[in-house]
Amino acid sequence: MNFDAFAIGFDHRDRERLHALWDEAIDNEQWSDGPLTRAFEEAWSGWNGLPALSTSSWTGAALAAFEYFELRGRTVLCPSNTFMATPLALQAAGASVQFVDCNRDDLCMSFEDFERKAREHKPRAAVLVHIGGHIAFEVEQIAAFCRDEGIVLLEDCAHAHGASLHGKRAGTWGDAGLWSFAATKTISTGEGGMLVSRHPELIEFADRFRNYGKPDYTQPGLNYRLNEFTAALGIVGTERLDEITAWKNAIAREQLDPQHPNRVHLPEGMVSGYYKYIVFDPLERSTGKVYDEPCHRVLGHHVDLPNSDWVAQNHWCAPLYYRPAERPALLAASQ
Ligand SMILES: Cc1ncc(COP(=O)(O)O)c(C=O)c1O
């Protein structure tokens, strides 16, 4: 067994249950917009603590929120240290992206640079990305600033499955949380996404947005629906998420932390879902970088973001993939 090789966050003890759910879908002849989609949304809502609506990918959830908050033609602040999906989706929605620097300790948006850029650009919205599987360390300050200044705050939670701060989960600080269940995520449905929000009107808008604006076509929309087979994967994954998080945390504490003192150090009260285990020393056994090049460089924006450049050069990821069969004792220990 190669312990460095990528392992999908699927627990093989769930095969039978997954196959039973797939049989249910086959039998009930409703392969989209059916009971499994609803059950996945309810399960995610239960875990996340907010109403939830599934989409075919993160992009569907993001575009629904960007349209709802009318970002077309408006300035939006976005960290440069993120996956290109974040600025590309903003651009696709017609927003004008201004990049913000990150911190070196958490790799996430810096409140100091965020505040400076907000005063300079007067943005309509900001996207906060929880990079690496932990919550952005300055989430509270950023959220408070956005509330005071009337800036829409959207959280890109694509890495944040399992993460919390004093029990509060990603996606619950801002106006919406945007999740991905793509193939590499801590739990995955192959492809998939979820929008969570405390605004019921946004959930209703997104429900129509993912379905061509039906029934009356008075709002924009295309097809961003999930199918029932994918939703079944989401149900079993969500049910296992706390266990997967506990297992990864046990491996981090027991094996990785002692070897890597120069790593991301989580503040008191924070739990990481360990999408990535990030260190600031070159590693012999590394799965590479979270991102090799900051987005402002990829997109040719002439803005000075020294920490984003520094992070791209100076971090590496140690392999930490969910393999319960290899370490079953940890499952019992983590319960
Ligand atoms: C930070 C971030 N945002 C957005 C995405 C896009 O997710 P999806 O592939 O589900 O559209 C990803 C992952 O792939 C990501 O890592």
Residue pLDDT, tens place only, 49-106: 999 999 999 999 999 999 999 999 999 999 999 999 999 999 999 999 999 999 999 9
What single DSSP character describes residue 197?
Answer: -
Q: Is the CB of 172 under 6 A from ligand 1?
A: no
Q: Determine the Cα–Cα distance for residues 291 and 326; give it in Å rounded to an integer.
A: 29
86 C-alpha to center of ligand 1: Å?
A: 7
Q: How confident is the model at residue 330 (pLDDT cuts 50, 70, 90)?
A: low
Q: Which of the pair, 183 or 335, is modelled with greater confidence?
A: 183
Whether the per-residue pLDDT at 2 is higher than 90: the answer is no
The pLDDT tens digits for 13-58 are 999 999 999 999 999 999 999 999 999 999 999 999 999 999 999 9
| pLDDT at 324 (0 to 100) | 86
Q: Is the CB of 193 under 6 A from ligand 1?
A: yes
Q: Determine the Cα–Cα distance for residues 275 and 320; give it in Å rounded to an integer.
A: 8
- Of all residues in the chain, what percent are helix, strand and coil, respectively (each to 5)? 40, 15, 45
Check: pTM over 0.95? Answer yes or no: yes
Q: Which of the pair, 326 or 28, is modelled with greater confidence?
A: 28
The minimum-distance atom of ligand 1 relative to the CA of 57 is: 10
| pLDDT at 331 (0 to 100) | 63
Residue to probe by mutation, ligand 1, list 55, 57, 83, most atoms within 8 Å of CB: 83
Whether the per-residue pLDDT at 334 is higher than 70: the answer is no
The second-level CATH assignment, the architecture, of 1-335 is: 3-Layer(aba) Sandwich (3.40)
User: According to DSSP H, which parts of 253-327 are helical?
Assistant: 257-259, 295-298, 306-314
% of the chain surpassing 70 pLDDT:
96
Q: Is the CB of 81 under 6 A from ligand 1?
A: no
The pLDDT tens digits for 98-113 are 999 999 999 999 999 9
Q: Is the CB of 131 under 6 A from ligand 1?
A: no
| pLDDT at 325 (0 to 100) | 80
What single DSSP character describes residue 190?
Answer: B
Domain extents in the chain: 1-335
Q: Is the CB of 59 under 6 A from ligand 1?
A: yes
Q: Is the CB of 290 under 6 A from ligand 1?
A: no
